[in-house]
């Protein structure tokens, strides 16, 4: 056992107080790097940094540091590397898969003080931001330039955190996910080395130079390094937007419409699906009167002329698939009203059972398989007496069951876990993935193994071992521990 | 109703308040004469954005004929005018005020400039943001109306044209007040009046072709000498550390000690 692990063990078991000299020594070295008031061992601060917005229980780190710049991050990392202290990067804590839990203790690197927006290049459509910048902050900053960053995962998340989890959102069908929109990253590795995945300051729109390290770190969920800068691809704010709603007699007709809309070449910006359970919940929550049927919520971006054509084509397609009640609007107020159900879905689902906790599943399958998986999933929910209205980014084949469960009902929790496992395996059986956008985090490590197969997982583990041989970077996430792997061969 | 509207912005150069953790707040200058403005991002005052949006909406509803965006300040004020043009204003007027004059430019001086411009352009409507978020004065609109001897609808959260009058719903402490005023009039925009549109890239490009006229306060025969002298600018007192106590009795004792109870 290393010194730090021993100390931590003794402190946790109250054998010694945290005034013990060893831990004090490391903490005082942290303080000399980033300042007296930038290191915290306060219980409230640690607990705040040990949880995210998932249902995973809080796993507080032993200390939280608040560095100001990449040099401090690097120096702190060097220290942690020397003393074998685990490191957990923390952005806004809005993750949904328990990615920030300090399972083996260690130090949480809260990066919120690094909040500069650097190097905006309007004609090149790129900007570089530090981890403390959230997507809404960036878009507010950009508002008078005519540019925006469209990846919208719902929460006002840190952009570097979004890069770390390969976030996506309702706009992905048109603008892509983080994988397509990160041009360069500045990363601090486990031993404190600072690298730039595409070269320092470089921001060409495309490149064929060397291994694609940028996309190695996108989605690595803090297990390969600490992202301290990300260079993002920006887009022009669309000249005009139109929102529309249409109701369908079945899931199949709704998805068929989606496929045909995409095949018709309509550059649709958002296409969201809500099932009838969700529509009912939304009606109740917001006193609306939508028909209680599978419904598509659509959004179109473009010039005035092109919008007219897009809407006309789409309306014709929905009608040919027995869609009805096609409504659309261009002005902001009416658009918000039409989409009210979709915007409030999360809260409406929770309101179905007050006092319960909400958990969102997240699988993604090829479009053609979507009707089958949704129908089978709904049957599963009914059979197991679970509450799970469905909302989905149907243009990507990605959907979420917003599960509402009583956290004190052990049996229901058990049924929930069994259900989510079955759902993920159902998606895998249909050539899909166990996580469309939330990441692997803590809860889907075994599923990842099933999804990728042993050779690919083995390669991922080799990469992890190369970049972080001491397993200090956010241990216990994404990949199952090495020892278990080698035993399973 | 046909007519010109000058849509005017109060103090276009407003320090953009950063809604982030106050780790690097706006800093007071060491000589306590003001705040540091170098390197701070400047953008249109949020209430002025709402004012521009309202003017553009009125034009889209064909209630007014032309929207003119006005800003007073140094060269950079032109960027703010360009944003207004990209949102839909037809042309701009940049009243150039620089250096020490600009630092001392207060609501009364701006109001004089706007009043002079309103007369010169024969405007029927002057719309401003209710206040600038850097100085929080909330005076320019009211002073402009007084100088012009026009009625004012301030803190407007809803504006409708009824014949040749304006019905204005105002946000006041007690709730909402609805008034009817004659045109020409001065309006100041409050938060709930509308949600301003973002300037889109195609519109920014189109806006480059729109005209911005340049002039100085002297061209309008306006004297911008300030009658105010800023004595001191200081930061709010540093928040001191709290004190932990073990029992309620201790708490009460400490509060008594401090004279709070």
Contact B21 A238 (CB under 8 A): no
Q: What gap in Å lies between CA B201 and CA A295, rounded to an integer? A: 32
pLDDT value for A16: 41
- Give the mean pLDDT of B4-28: 34
- Check residues A239 and A196 and name the one with the higher pLDDT: A196
Tokens of residue B125, six digits? 């409507």
Q: Using a CB-CB distance cutoff of 8 angstroms, which residues of chain B are in contact with residue A130?
A: none
Q: Using a CB-CB distance cutoff of 8 angstroms, which residues of chain B are in contact with residue A332?
A: 195, 197
pLDDT value for A345: 87
Q: What gap in Å lies between CA A151 and CA A172, rounded to an integer? A: 7
Shortest CA gap B152–chain A (Å): 27
CA-CA-CA-CA dihedral for A39, A41, A44, A50, to nearest 10: 80
b/e per residue B219-240 (b: at least 16 CB within 10 A): ebebebeeeeeeeeeeeeeeee
Chosen for mutation from A133, A144, A238 (greatest number of chain B CBs closer than 10 Å) is: A144
**Nearest residue in A to B199, CA atom:** A146
Mean pLDDT of chain A: 90
How many domains are there within chain A? 3
Computed on alpha carbons and rounded to an integer, the radius of gyration of chain A in Å comes to 23
* Residues, chain A: 489
A64 and A140 share one domain: no
Contact A144 B23 (CB under 8 A): no
pLDDT bracket for residue B260 (50, 70, 90): confident
**Tens digits of per-residue pLDDT, A251-260?**
889 989 998 9
Mean pLDDT of chain B: 83
Please name which of A110, A86, A101, A91 lies closest in space to residue A8, comparing C-alpha atoms: A86
A232 and A252 share one domain: no
Residue A211 is given by DSSP the state: S
Q: Using a CB-CB distance cutoff of 8 angstroms, which residues of chain B are in contact with residue A240?
A: 200
Pair A423, A381: CB distance under 8 Å:
no
Q: Using a CB-CB distance cutoff of 8 angstroms, which residues of chain B are in contact with residue A132?
A: 20-21
A201: exposed, middle or buried (Cβ count in 10 Å: 0-12, 13-18, 19+): exposed
- Give the mean pLDDT of A311-323: 95
- Give the mean pLDDT of A166-194: 95
Tokens of residue A107, six digits? 């130090």
A164: exposed, middle or buried (Cβ count in 10 Å: 0-12, 13-18, 19+): buried
**Nearest residue in A to B17, CA atom:** A141
In a domain, A26, yes or no: yes
Q: What gap in Å lies between CA A189 and CA A257, rounded to an integer? A: 46
**Nearest residue in B to A236, CA atom:** B201
In a domain, A101, yes or no: yes
What residue numbers bound the domain in which A293 lies?
240-346
- Give the mean pLDDT of A394-416: 93
- Check residues A225 and B195 and name the one with the higher pLDDT: A225
Angle at the Cα of B72 (from B31 to B106), degrees rounded to 5? 50
Chosen domain end from A218, A236, A254: A236
Across the interface, which of A115, A146, A303 has its CB nearest the CB of B20? A115
pLDDT bracket for residue A36 (50, 70, 90): confident
Pair A87, A67: CB distance under 8 Å:
no
A107 and A138 share one domain: no
The CA–CA distances, whole Å, from A171 to A270, A294, A479 equal 5, 20, 29
pLDDT value for B39: 61
Chosen for mutation from A36, A122, A237, A302 (greatest number of chain B CBs closer than 10 Å) is: A237
**Nearest residue in A to B60, CA atom:** A331
A95 and A197 share one domain: no
User: Which stretches of chain B are assigned E, i.e. beta strand?
Assistant: 4-8, 14-15, 42-43, 66-73, 91-96, 125-129, 152-162, 165-172, 175-182, 185-189, 212-215
Q: What gap in Å lies between CA A76 and CA A394, rounded to an integer? A: 43
pLDDT value for A9: 59
Contact B86 A146 (CB under 8 A): yes
**Tens digits of per-residue pLDDT, B43-71?**
788 899 999 999 999 998 888 889 999 99
A105 and A170 share one domain: no
pLDDT value for A421: 94
Q: What gap in Å lies between CA A373 and CA A430, rounded to an integer? A: 8
A224 and A261 share one domain: no
Q: What is the CATH number of the domain that holds A92?
A: 3.30.43.10
- Check residues A67 and B21 and name the one with the higher pLDDT: A67
Q: What is the CATH number of the domain that holds A270?
A: 3.30.70.2190
Chosen domain end from A302, A329, A346: A346
pLDDT value for A7: 52
Going by their DSSP bridges, the two strands A398-405 and A390-393 should be labelled as antiparallel
Shortest CA gap A342–chain B (Å): 20
- Give the mean pLDDT of A300-326: 93
Pair A272, A291: CB distance under 8 Å:
no
Has residue B9 got a pLDDT over 70?
no
Q: What gap in Å lies between CA A95 and CA A82, rounded to an integer? A: 29
A58 and A36 share one domain: yes
A105 and A141 share one domain: no
Contact A238 B200 (CB under 8 A): yes
Q: Using a CB-CB distance cutoff of 8 angstroms, which residues of chain A are in contact with residue B77?
A: none
A295 and A228 share one domain: no
pLDDT value for B25: 45
Contact A239 B86 (CB under 8 A): no
Q: Using a CB-CB distance cutoff of 8 angstroms, which residues of chain A are in contact with residue B195?
A: 332-333
In a domain, A445, yes or no: no
pLDDT value for A209: 94
Pair A182, A202: CB distance under 8 Å:
no
* Residues, chain B: 261
A251 and A281 share one domain: yes
In a domain, A456, yes or no: no
**Tens digits of per-residue pLDDT, B171-213?**
999 999 999 999 999 999 999 999 888 888 888 888 999 999 9
**Tens digits of per-residue pLDDT, A86-137?**
999 999 999 999 999 999 999 999 999 999 999 999 999 999 999 999 999 9
- Give the mean pLDDT of A303-327: 93
Tokens of residue A89, six digits? 């990067």
**Tens digits of per-residue pLDDT, A433-482?**
999 999 999 989 999 999 999 999 999 999 999 999 999 999 999 998 86
- Give the mean pLDDT of B73-98: 90
A99 and A131 share one domain: no
Please name which of A108, A160, A123, A116 lies closest in space to residue A141, comparing C-alpha atoms: A116
Contact A141 B83 (CB under 8 A): no
**Nearest residue in B to A112, CA atom:** B21
Q: Using a CB-CB distance cutoff of 8 angstroms, which residues of chain A are in contact with residue B21?
A: 112-113, 115, 132
B156 strand-pairing partners: B170, B189
Has residue B168 got a pLDDT over 60?
yes
- Give the mean pLDDT of B146-168: 94
pLDDT value for B38: 67
Q: What gap in Å lies between CA A94 and CA A111, rounded to an integer? A: 14
Contact B201 A112 (CB under 8 A): no
Pair A241, A297: CB distance under 8 Å:
no
Could you tell me if residue B4 is left (phi over 0), alpha (psi between -120 and 50 degrees) or otherwise beta?
A: beta
Pair A214, A198: CB distance under 8 Å:
yes
pLDDT bracket for residue A23 (50, 70, 90): low
Pair B107, B139: CB distance under 8 Å:
yes
Across the interface, which of A112, A132, A237 has its CB nearest the CB of B198? A237
pLDDT value for B21: 25
**Nearest residue in B to A331, CA atom:** B197
Q: What gap in Å lies between CA A59 and CA B155, rounded to an integer? A: 49
Number of helical H runs and strand E runs in chain B: 7, 11
Pair A268, A170: CB distance under 8 Å:
no
A88 and A29 share one domain: yes
Has residue B18 got a pLDDT over 60?
no
In a domain, A102, yes or no: yes
Contact B200 A332 (CB under 8 A): no
In a domain, A325, yes or no: yes
Chosen domain end from A81, A113, A145: A113
pLDDT value for B41: 67
pLDDT value for A107: 95
Tokens of residue A77, six digits? 């990392």
Q: What gap in Å lies between CA B123 and CA B232, rounded to an integer? A: 38
Q: Using a CB-CB distance cutoff of 8 angstroms, which residues of chain A are in contact with residue B199?
A: 143-146, 237
* Contacting residues for A41 by C-beta, under 8 A, at least 6 apart: A18, A27, A62, A63, A64
In this predicted structure, which of A74-78, A318-322, B30-34, B52-56 has the lowest mean pLDDT? B30-34
The three-class DSSP label of residue B94 is strand
**Tens digits of per-residue pLDDT, B106-143?**
899 999 999 999 999 889 999 999 988 888 889 999 99
Q: Using a CB-CB distance cutoff of 8 angstroms, which residues of chain A are in contact with residue B84?
A: none
- Check residues A9 and A83 and name the one with the higher pLDDT: A83
pLDDT bracket for residue A65 (50, 70, 90): very high
Q: What is the CATH number of the domain that holds A205?
A: 3.30.465.10
Number of helical H runs and strand E runs in chain A: 20, 19
Angle at the Cα of A131 (from A126 to A133), degrees rounded to 5? 70
pLDDT bracket for residue A22 (50, 70, 90): low
Tokens of residue A120, six digits? 């905006």
Helix A21-34 to helix A3-12 angle (10° resolution) is 110
Q: Got the DSSP string for B217-260?
A: GGGGT-----S-------PPPPPPP----SSHHHHHHHHHHTT-
In a domain, A376, yes or no: no
Residue A94 has phi, psi (to 5 degrees) of -105, 15
Contact B203 A146 (CB under 8 A): yes
Pair A303, B202: CB distance under 8 Å:
yes
Contact B86 A143 (CB under 8 A): no
Chosen for mutation from B12, B13, B20 (greatest number of chain A CBs closer than 10 Å) is: B20
In this predicted structure, which of A134-138, A338-342, B146-150 has the lowest mean pLDDT? A338-342
Question: Count of CB atoms within 10 A of residue A80's CB?
Answer: 25
The CA–CA distances, whole Å, from A469 to A473, A482, B114, B176 equal 10, 11, 68, 65
In a domain, A184, yes or no: yes
CA-CA-CA-CA dihedral for A116, A119, A125, A129, to nearest 10: -30
Tokens of residue A53, six digits? 């917005």
């Amino acid at each position: 056992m290393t010194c730090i692990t021993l100390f931590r063990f003794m402190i946790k078991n109250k054998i010694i107080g945290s005034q013990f000299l060893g831990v004090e020594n490391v903490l005082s070295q942290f303080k000399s790097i980033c300042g007296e008031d930038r290191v915290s061992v306060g219980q409230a601060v640690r607990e705040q940094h040990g949880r995210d917005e998932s249902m995973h229980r809080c796993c507080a780190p032993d200390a939280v540091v608040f560095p100001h710049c990449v040099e401090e991050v690097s120096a702190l990392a060097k220290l942690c590397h020397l003393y074998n202290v685990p490191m957990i990067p923390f952005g806004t804590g809005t993750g949904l898969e328990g990615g920030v839990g300090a399972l083996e203790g260690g130090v949480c690197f809260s990066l919120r003080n690094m909040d500069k927006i650097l190097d905006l290049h309007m004609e090149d459509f790129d900007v570089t931001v530090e981890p403390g910048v959230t997507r809404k902050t960036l878009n507010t900053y950009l508002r008078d330039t005519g540019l925006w960053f469209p990846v919208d995962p719902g929460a006002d998340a840190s952009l570097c955190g979004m890069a770390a989890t390969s976030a996506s959102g309702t706009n992905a069908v048109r603008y892509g996910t983080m994988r397509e929109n990160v041009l360069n990253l500045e990363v601090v590795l486990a031993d404190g080395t600072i690298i730039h995945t595409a070269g320092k300051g470089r921001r060409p729109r495309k490149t064929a130079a060397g291994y694609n390290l940028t996309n190695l770190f996108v989605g690595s969920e803090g297990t390969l390094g600490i992202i301290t800068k990300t260079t993002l691809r920006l887009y022009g704010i669309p000249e005009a937007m139109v929102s529309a709603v249409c109701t369908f007699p079945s899931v199949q007709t709704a998805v068929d419409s989606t496929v045909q809309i995409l095949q018709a070449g309509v550059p649709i910006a958002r296409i969201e699906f809500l099932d009838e359970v969700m529509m009912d919940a939304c009606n109740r929550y917001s006193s609306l009167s939508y028909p209680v049927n599978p419904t598509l919520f659509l959004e179109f971006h473009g010039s005035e002329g092109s919008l007219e054509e897009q809407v006309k084509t789409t309306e014709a397609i929905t009608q040919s698939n027995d869609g009805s009640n096609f409504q659309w609007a261009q002005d902001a107020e009416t658009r918000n009203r039409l989409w009210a159900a979709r915007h409030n879905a999360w809260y409406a689902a929770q309101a179905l059972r007050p006092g319960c906790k909400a958990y969102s599943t997240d699988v993604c399958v090829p479009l053609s398989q979507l009707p089958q998986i949704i129908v089978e999933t709904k049957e599963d929910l009914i059979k197991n007496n679970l509450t799970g209205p469905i909302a989905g980014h149907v243009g990507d084949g990605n959907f979420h069951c917003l599960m509402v469960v009583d956290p004190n009902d052990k049996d229901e929790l058990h049924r929930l876990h069994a259900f989510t496992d079955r759902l993920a395996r159902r998606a895998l059986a249909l050539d899909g993935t166990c996580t469309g956008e939330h990441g692997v985090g803590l809860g889907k490590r075994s599923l990842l193994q099933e999804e990728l197969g042993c050779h690919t997982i083995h390669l991922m583990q080799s990469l992890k071992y190369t970049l972080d041989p001491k397993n200090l970077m956010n241990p216990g996430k994404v990949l199952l521990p090495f020892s278990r792997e080698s035993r399973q061969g | 109703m046909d007519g010109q509207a000058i849509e005017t912005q109060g103090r276009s150069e407003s320090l953009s308040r950063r809604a982030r953790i106050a780790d690097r707040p706006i800093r007071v200058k060491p000589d306590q004469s003001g705040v540091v403005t170098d390197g701070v991002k400047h953008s249109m005052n949020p209430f002025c954005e709402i004012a521009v949006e309202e003017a553009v909406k009125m034009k889209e509803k064909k209630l007014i004929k032309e929207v003119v965006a006005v800003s007073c300040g140094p060269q950079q004020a032109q960027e703010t005018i360009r944003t207004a043009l990209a949102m839909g204003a037809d042309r701009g007027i940049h009243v150039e005020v620089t250096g020490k004059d600009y630092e001392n430019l207060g609501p009364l001086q701006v109001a004089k400039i706007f009043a002079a411009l309103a007369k010169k352009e024969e405007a029927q409507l002057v719309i401003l943001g209710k206040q600038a978020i850097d100085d929080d004065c909330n005076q320019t609109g009211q002073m402009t109306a007084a100088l012009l001897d026009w009625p004012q609808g301030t803190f407007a959260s809803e504006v409708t044209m009824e014949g040749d009058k304006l019905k204005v719903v105002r946000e006041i402490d007690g709730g909402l007040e609805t008034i009817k005023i004659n045109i020409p009039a001065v309006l100041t925009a409050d938060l709930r009046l509308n949600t301003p549109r973002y300037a889109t890239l195609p519109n920014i490009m189109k806006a480059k072709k729109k005209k911005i006229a340049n002039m100085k306060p002297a061209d309008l025969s306006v004297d911008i000498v300030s009658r105010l002298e800023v004595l001191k600018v200081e930061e709010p007192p540093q928040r001191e550390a709290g004190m932990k106590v073990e029992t309620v009795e201790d708490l009460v004792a400490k509060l008594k000690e401090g004279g709070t109870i």
